[in-house]
Structure 1
């Protein structure tokens, strides 16, 4: 007697069965977007904030045709030993030239977004979107390792010329990509970043309140952040009796200009009036913003510039340099100064300290300005770039 097998397809054609089958087909049809989050292995900077917030916002968008896959390079070795630096450099090279291409093919990716200035020269068949934040190192190379500069000049230029599409956070960054890196102007999209919002804990609010009154500045102690000039401007105000009792608080991770900054503070005899907090938690940073009287941003160059926007969100009047991209992002909300003119910097900060009407005006202008910046909108525009590139690549 032969065996008879009866296949029951009743459930397959029920509403639930049709939905499940449709979901499987839709999942199969989804385009797979790899997003390189290797930058998150480094110390927190504007680039790491951008990568983290954009990826999160892309995942939160309501859409069904794209699937986002995070990609991570091997973690670099954490050590101040100078012999570790070349090992980390080799790890970075191995990611772009070997491990990322292998990973991309294994995951059957349709597109890759690299959010930190470079693409993989090996990936020729998979379109790559590259976010170029700036090319400041080509203008201001001081403090940079010569080997890194040699490599960066070549990989940045290669990326600018061979990326499927380039994203820049400002028109200033776009100009640098064109003039310094040789990017095709028609291949660049300017997409403004969003605003970073943080929450403070009670203990951090109490710590920050204990520092009042104070002028705040935020950023890594890099030469281009120009903190030495800010210390000199503050020292000038102090000697003239115009600080209004305000201390100067600097918050951000130690970097190449840290030792020189300490020496400037000592030479100006400001050790009792200037505090360097180093890298602080998001909670403490939020508390500092909540309690600061004035925010000073003396940077010599920025691709976008998150800190002054964050300060404006908290209603802090801002004094900022008119270096590249800063006026574009901040508009008419701050008081501007020449970042290389100590007297002008001191005068404008002192003016905010002494004029309460000006402080109120800057506060309201800042609160209005920050409404222009949204991670959701940034993610939407970025996704539109993905779709356009995928459509062009498949045509």
Structure 2
């Protein structure tokens, strides 16, 4: 097989989308030395990362980066000029792809929470994702929650959607004291801290986290509470989060690091007193798994896919309830034994997820889709 992968998110800092495709490419290249792969990228850093790295993997620069031109024009032209057996995309497929398409759709939060997206982004996603779901040869979802949501929202036949769970990359592990100290100095973090990781946008629910943290400081004016460290680049509609952090109760105790390279994340997770992920809509929820691999106790929202990902290895709280978030933080701050139990459970839970297995499941889908397409072409030729 000759498999093409739209890897335009590599090198963009697009959090989950970039993490998914980079780890999948790495795992596929390791487990599959038989089939040929072509990666479509838009950043020179992505070319440098993958060019001549594996004999079975080629890299093609497909410009411009803007999807309005690249997806319907550049990708289709490239696919017609250099035919492949299958194209794998995230969310959006070219409207006239000359080959079968496998599409990974992590979640469809834009359908359920339209107010958490800009008007342009919401309309674009609705148009392109709905088209992709109906036209793709097969859909990949990262969780049973997302699979069920796609079936119920779009009426997609269950046989057309498979689940391939994500995993934390192997470099997420408890960091050394030297590495922790280096990262503390780099981001000017002193003492204990509560960590949150994710782009600054409404769905991550950072406003409620900040308000919950403020309420703890209000209730414990004499206590020495940990700092709050928020890791992630500004996404969209982030102004309310910044306003919440301007509260005089929390502003001098809150650190925004901005975008952090993945090499620094394990140490940031390791040194944290606890990790809080109060998102109210996730297709999988990878940061809690990364934190657990680093031995960090986790608090996460109790909705959508997060209970499926975390299991009993973290504290689940109602993400709509500031008091519930505050109480969860308070429990971990006050109870070192609970932190120890969650650390042990988290390490065990994280080992259940593996990118090699995700790649094997994905490759099996490629094989099924290509075989079905060949059978269909044979039947048409014989008709």
TM-score range, shorter chain: 0.7 to 0.9
Structure 1 equivalent of residue 4 of structure 2:
34
Structure 1 equivalent of residue 86 of structure 2:
111
In our comparison, the structure showing a higher alpha carbon Rg is 1
Structure 1 equivalent of residue 73 of structure 2:
98
Tell me how large the CA RMSD over aligned residues is. Answer: 2.1
Structure 2 equivalent of residue 295 of structure 1:
275
Distance of 2:203 and 2:72 partners within structure 1: 30
Retained in 2: the 8 A contact 1:133–1:303?
yes
Which secondary structure does the structure 2 equivalent of 1:276 belong to? Answer: strand
1:43 is aligned, of 3, 8, 13, to: 13
User: Structure 1 segments of 4 or more deviating over 6 A?
Assistant: none
Which secondary structure does the structure 1 equivalent of 2:155 belong to? Answer: coil
Q: What's the offset of the Cα at 1:142?
A: 1.9
Distance of 2:360 and 2:120 partners within structure 1: 38
State how 1:363-382 maps to structure 2 within 5 Å. 363-382=343-362
Which secondary structure does the structure 1 equivalent of 2:267 belong to? Answer: helix
Q: What's the offset of the Cα at 1:90?
A: 9.3
Which secondary structure does the structure 2 equivalent of 1:122 belong to? Answer: coil
2:27 is aligned, of 42, 57, 63, to: 57
Structure 2 equivalent of residue 217 of structure 1:
196
Q: What's the offset of the Cα at 1:280?
A: 1.2
Retained in 2: the 8 A contact 1:117–1:130?
yes
1:261 is aligned, of 237, 241, 265, to: 241
- Tell me the matched-pair count: 350
Retained in 2: the 8 A contact 1:212–1:291?
no
1:151 is aligned, of 124, 132, 135, to: 124
Retained in 2: the 8 A contact 1:229–1:342?
yes
1:67 is aligned, of 25, 36, 39, to: 36
Q: What's the offset of the Cα at 1:235?
A: 1.0
Retained in 2: the 8 A contact 1:212–1:292?
no
TM-score, structure 2 normalization = 0.86
Structure 1 equivalent of residue 96 of structure 2:
122
Retained in 1: the 8 A contact 2:317–2:325?
yes
Retained in 2: the 8 A contact 1:38–1:71?
yes
Distance of 1:281 and 1:366 partners within structure 2: 23
Q: What's the offset of the Cα at 1:73?
A: 4.5
Once the two structures are superposed, residues 335-367 of structure 1 have per-residue CA deviations (whole angstroms, 9 ceiling, x without a partner) of 111001111111111011111111111111101
CA distance 1:74–1:253, change in 2 (3 Å) = closer
Distance of 1:289 and 1:259 partners within structure 2: 26
Q: What's the offset of the Cα at 1:43?
A: 2.7
Matched, 1:192 2:165: yes
2:154 is aligned, of 175, 181, 198, to: 181
2:319 is aligned, of 339, 346, 361, to: 339
**Structure 2, gaps ≥5 residues long:** 45-62, 376-383
Structure 2 equivalent of residue 320 of structure 1:
300
**Structure 1, gaps ≥5 residues long:** 1-30, 76-87
Q: What's the offset of the Cα at 1:325?
A: 0.2
TM-score, structure 1 normalization = 0.84
Retained in 1: the 8 A contact 2:209–2:325?
yes
